[in-house]
Amino acid sequence: MDLEEILKERAKIFDRALTGNLTSRDPEIFYDALRWIPLSGGKRLRPILAMLSCEAVGSVPEATIPFGIALEYLHNSTLIHDDIIDKDRWRRGLQTTHEKFGVPFAILAGDALIGETYRMLSYMAPPELKSVTYKEIIRSIADAAKNFYEGEALDVVFADRSDVTIPQYMIMIEKKTAQLYYLAGKGGALIGKGNRKQVENLAQYGTLFGLMFQIKDDLLNILTEQLILGKQMIGSDILNGKRTLMLIHALSEVHENDKNKMMSVVGNENANQQEVLEVINLFKKYGSIDYAQKKLEEFSEKAKSCLDIMDSSESKEILIALADYSVTRLY
Amino acid sequence: MDLEEILKERAKIFDRALTGNLTSRDPEIFYDALRWIPLSGGKRLRPILAMLSCEAVGSVPEATIPFGIALEYLHNSTLIHDDIIDKDRWRRGLQTTHEKFGVPFAILAGDALIGETYRMLSYMAPPELKSVTYKEIIRSIADAAKNFYEGEALDVVFADRSDVTIPQYMIMIEKKTAQLYYLAGKGGALIGKGNRKQVENLAQYGTLFGLMFQIKDDLLNILTEQLILGKQMIGSDILNGKRTLMLIHALSEVHENDKNKMMSVVGNENANQQEVLEVINLFKKYGSIDYAQKKLEEFSEKAKSCLDIMDSSESKEILIALADYSVTRLY
């Protein structure tokens, strides 16, 4: 199975739908700001996961298109506002929305995309869904959004603290990163008319997939070189002071003198590559990289076991492959 | 009829419901930011209008409570984000959310309130509403939100232009200010199971009420003294450079030398009270205050005629009184 090819093909379905839906009205600059990030690419993993979940419970994939687009709108609204909050200047190789259009239009663009999320849901045809299921989807999406904002708020609060525990950190990324994947699995299964147990398991698969995605991204950041502002480098998360599972783990294990060394580099944008490598060596010394790698493998096995109750199908195979890929991917 | 007393009594219903709904979770600072503006008072005119519309088509008021709360959430989210955009420091005599809690929490608080809007709607019990009506309400609220953001974006665009025409200005305030009142009238009538014509007329009543509200507020700003940052003054809108119907009208009529005089004061925060009064005299000279006053009276008559098709009821009487009050109120 060529998983990457399958993902690309599926992503195109949502690329097309997004381009068709985000047409311009007056004032043009506002709609330019609105479209900037949603149409700048992205892997469309959330809608793809919703679609696969719908198929895994035996339903047709087309039914999830409005829901999948809604997920992308919500996700993109969080990216646009997150970039304002983090004062980030670049995303997907482009200027962030507030850098290009200014903070007022970026705030309004994010707000409007949240509204579009729910508007899109109102296009799910009534015969497809019972009224009760429809309300459950609306409530699930709003609950997930609430959890997401809580997670983001926790992230802001944690940024000033060095005593965050691993359980606190896991709650934060479950809310901030995994929530929309949870919703994708749950919503796809609900739309596909899965039974309670199937809905629950696909929701849990989504959560685990989201957690893996975050941990793997953070591992790749310190294990492989990336091109950042024209320089090949490793560990940009360390320079940016980003809280990661490895950092939280290391902080809970580290001796006092190593801790001072570590914290003089973490979040210090002027630190050089050698100093970053020393922090990564401390992560290794305290077993933090192994710890994250083990969590990843544990989550992957758990995610696959969530699929045990599903009948055999192509979509089930793809979901299993995705859980493996989350551990093995190299970029 | 003691209209002000009636409005106060109705507002209390929504005050209580809002306080009960906005309970705190972790992290507390985020929920403090979320509650700051919604629980700081406000007249709750949008939910009151929804409730009156529901009653005017012969239904019980209680059915509109979740919808009314949803309207307040959406309205308050726009206030919080609008204050960031306009860099306003005070609202309802308190610091604005971003002043008190910082921009990141203010952005997240506004986003979360948009989500709460739709979550609240999912609490409308299924037997009360047909699935089709429910979807129409979701779509109406999302459409209204979209129009609102467009209006806000137009306002940002217009701020740098002195050639805005009266029709362009009216479109902007219809979107930015009247949209949620339109939605209140429409949604209340839909929930009350009004017929198509009733829904349409109460929606139009809402639009006109919103326009009146804006124009009257702007008139009061230049005709009566207000306590602003400890000083009794008149015409703070002129100092702030706010686009109002009077200013747009005057700009379209004014002679070149008066225009320069006017524009040297409009938006100049260091201008003194005497200079502001001279601008108000120019508004009088060019008939701009009369023009706004006439519009107000015209809208009030139109709004009342929207009610002709409703059966006699106490709520109809209150709606008529509200249309009169929009012209005559002194604060």
- The tens digit of pLDDT for each residue in A226-256 reads 776 677 789 989 998 899 999 999 999 999 9
State whether residue B159 sits within 8 Å of chain A by CB: no
| pLDDT, tens only, A200-214 | 999 999 999 999 999
State whether residue A41 sits within 8 Å of chain B by CB: no
**3-state DSSP call for residue B228?**
strand
Q: Residue written as tokens 């050639």?
A: B163
State whether residue B87 sits within 8 Å of chain A by CB: no
| pLDDT, tens only, B132-186 | 788 888 899 999 999 999 999 999 999 888 889 999 999 999 999 999 999 999 9
Q: Which residues of B243-272 are buried (b: 16+ CB within 10 A; e: fewer)?
A: bbbbbbbbbebbeeebeeebbebbeeeebe
Domain count, chain A: 1
Q: Which of residues 119 through 148 in chain B touch A, CB cutoff 8 A?
A: 119, 121-122, 126, 130-132, 134-136, 138-139, 141-143, 145-146
As a whole number, mean pLDDT of residues B245-271 equals: 93
Burial (Cβ within 10 Å: 0-12, 13-18, ≥19) of residue B93: exposed
Across the interface, of B108, B134, B149, the residue whose CB is closest to A111 is B149
Nearest Cα to B186, choosing from B169, B211, B208, B171?
Answer: B208
DSSP state of B90: E
| pLDDT, tens only, A57-91 | 999 999 899 999 999 999 999 999 999 999 999 99
Q: Does the reported pTM lie above 0.80? A: yes
CA distance B244 to A241: 47
Residue type at B166 in one-letter notation:
I
> How confident is residue A140, by pLDDT bands cut at 50, 70 and 90?
very high
CATH number for A71: 1.10.600.10
Q: Residue written as tokens 């030398």?
A: B257
Q: What is residue B126's predicted lDDT score, i.e. its pLDDT?
A: 53
Element (H, E) at B231: strand B231-233
Per-residue CA distances from A329 to A10, A92, A195, A246, A320 (Å): 19, 19, 32, 18, 14
Residue A90 burial (CB count, 10 A): 12
Q: What is residue B9's predicted lDDT score, i.e. its pLDDT?
A: 96
Query: What torsion do the CA atoms of A211, A174, A227, A246 make, to the nearest 10 degrees?
Result: -80
> How confident is residue A128, by pLDDT bands cut at 50, 70 and 90?
low
State whether residue A30 sits within 8 Å of chain B by CB: yes
Domain holding A272, by residue range, is 3-328
Q: Percentage of residues in chain B with pLDDT exceeding 90?
A: 82
Q: Which residues on chain A are in Cβ contact (under 8 Å) with B141?
A: 118
> How confident is residue B21, by pLDDT bands cut at 50, 70 and 90?
confident
Predicted interface score ipTM higher than 0.90: yes
Q: What is residue A331's predicted lDDT score, i.e. its pLDDT?
A: 79
Across the interface, of A105, A121, A130, the residue whose CB is closest to B138 is A121
